[in-house]
Amino acid sequence: MKKTIKKVCISLLGCFIAMNSFAADYYVHPVKGNDSNDGKSMTTAIQTLKKASQIALKPGDRLLLAAGENHKGTLELVGRNGWLKQPIVLESYAWPDQKSQEPAHIDGKGQANALLIRNCTHLQIRKLHITANGYTGEKGAKDMRCGILITASDKMHTENILVKDVKVSDVFYENPGYIRDPKEVRSANGTEPYGFGIRLIAGTYPTQINNVRIEDCLVENVEHTGIKLTGENSRANITHVVMSGNKVTKSGGPGMQMSNVKYVHVTSNEVSYSGSTDDGRKWGRGSGLWTWSASNVLIEKNRFLYANGPGDSAGIHIDFHCDNIVVQYNFSAHNAGGFFEVLGNTNNCTYRYNISVNDGARVKGENGAFQEGKIFWLSGYQGKASRKPPVNTYFYNNTIYVGKGIESKFAIEKGTEGLLIANNIFCIEGDSKRVNDDQSSWEKPLDKPLERLVFRNNLYLKTGNWPEVIPIQDESPLIGDPDFAGKGGLNIADYIPHNKELVKDKGIEIPFIPGDVFGLVQGLNLDKDMADNTIDGLPDIGAVEVK
């Protein structure tokens, strides 16, 4: 029996070695290559991306683009399938006489996509620079231009895709000099063609995109959204996506956005200057990140800075039709639209252990703004459908600092079902006021106390930080100066309270909202604060424990 098992193992090992021996490297050089070559060595490199797109890549194969060179056109990998232990790899490769230290550059100008991944499995994309700035001759694609498009169609699956150490920049549908109609920014997501950085699009269900990781990438200066996930309407057919360690800056629309997705983890990214207007081709409006029709999304340990736009444009906002969205351990600062925004038909969502600095400075009616910036906003807005306010919303252990000269605005819609506000610091140096929701003429501001409410143990710099005209009030407020060392700074350490006696162990264990039997998918009470300190005993007030 042992001999039989040994023979089988040796046989399987031999098969694995044999299969692995078939893996090949294919070389692409736009100057030294020739499309009549087989591409299997540097001396027989092929020349064009069109030819590279035709290679029948197999498990373990590598497609190697010459580093420091400009590869024009589009690279299309369709129906290419690796194995879990032998993925297909696309990356830069330095020739022996390579002088530039830059990665291979794919220039997709005029193409629908610089890099297209469709119906592929077990594929890795590494160390590339991708652009697609406008067009020559005809515009080409009618609706958009993408740096990288990862998609699935015809009831197929795209699975186990890694995008790592890739720079995507200067992606525009239009050519330089084009100026958007000023009315365009008031449309929900833009009505004209735009350029996007990295997009995931899943077609008609049961088409699926699963297990995608976007890591350590730089996306900058794109016409609309930096990284965008779009599943089929009402179907979560994009699942298990991780976006980690990326930097997204100067996107004309949102930095990151996701629709019809499930099980997404967004961690350790920095998103800045979303909604950029530094180029007339850009949309000019966008939150750092927002979710729509999304389920089970964890957004943590990110930085969201300087979001711009006449509407929306918060650091992070939860749009309608979402459930179980957890926003924790994030640093949000100078975002025009505000800090806390949760819209209609949402269930069991939370903001906890975040820091907000000078968010929500936008004033309706100034500089084209059609919405107020808000530090706290609960709305029943869900598009054209009748309003349906959020259900079971948890807001606790956040630290909010707003300096002088900014009026902090609050809006809570009538009909809000279940709300917890506890253990937060509202350090607001200026004035506070209640404003209307301002999404539509249907708005109905909260006009009486909520039946399912937990509102206590929050610290306020002064009376009136929470507007007195709102018909829900803290039942056990704390008043005083937390004494931040670096008010207005952009580091967690700037918001550690030095007034220890005011905050230490003054929080409460977070209970279920009355009538809520579910709570939060990660649990209500955490072991760590925003600075990764252990929470011993009762939690402190705010996002950072005092030692």
Q: Are 202 and 161 in contact (CB under 8 A)?
A: no
* DSSP single-letter state for residue 510: P
* Domain membership flag for residue 164: yes
Distance CA 405, CA 419 (A): 29
pLDDT tens-digit series, residues 37-52: 999 999 999 999 999 9
pLDDT tens-digit series, residues 115-158: 999 999 999 999 999 999 999 887 766 789 999 999 999 889 99
Count of structural domains within the chain:
1
* Domain membership flag for residue 329: yes
Distance CA 542, CA 426 (A): 9
- Residue 369 contacts by C-beta under 8 Å, 6 or more apart in sequence? 310, 311, 336, 362, 363
* Domain membership flag for residue 102: yes
Identify which of 276, 119, 273 has the alpha carbon closest to the alpha carbon of residue 195: 276
Distance CA 275, CA 369 (A): 13
* Domain membership flag for residue 514: no
Backbone dihedral angles phi then psi of residue 91, each to the nearest 5 degrees: -160, 175
Distance CA 482, CA 541 (A): 10
Distance CA 146, CA 197 (A): 6
Q: What is the CATH number of the domain that holds 217?
A: 2.160.20.10
Backbone dihedral angles phi then psi of residue 58, each to the nearest 5 degrees: -120, 170
Percent of the chain with pLDDT over 70: 95
Percent of the chain with pLDDT over 90: 88
* Domain membership flag for residue 17: no
- Does residue 541 have a pLDDT over 80? yes
* Domain membership flag for residue 57: yes
Amino acid 492 reads: I
* Domain membership flag for residue 479: yes
Distance CA 465, CA 503 (A): 17
Identify which of 196, 315, 210 has the alpha carbon closest to the alpha carbon of residue 261: 210
Structure tokens at 500: 């220890």
* Domain membership flag for residue 529: no
Grouping H, G, I as helix, E, B as strand and the rest as coil, residue 350 is strand
Identify which of 370, 317, 325, 312 has the alpha carbon closest to the alpha carbon of residue 341: 317
- Does residue 20 have a pLDDT over 60? no
By residue range, what is the domain housing residue 211? Answer: 23-503
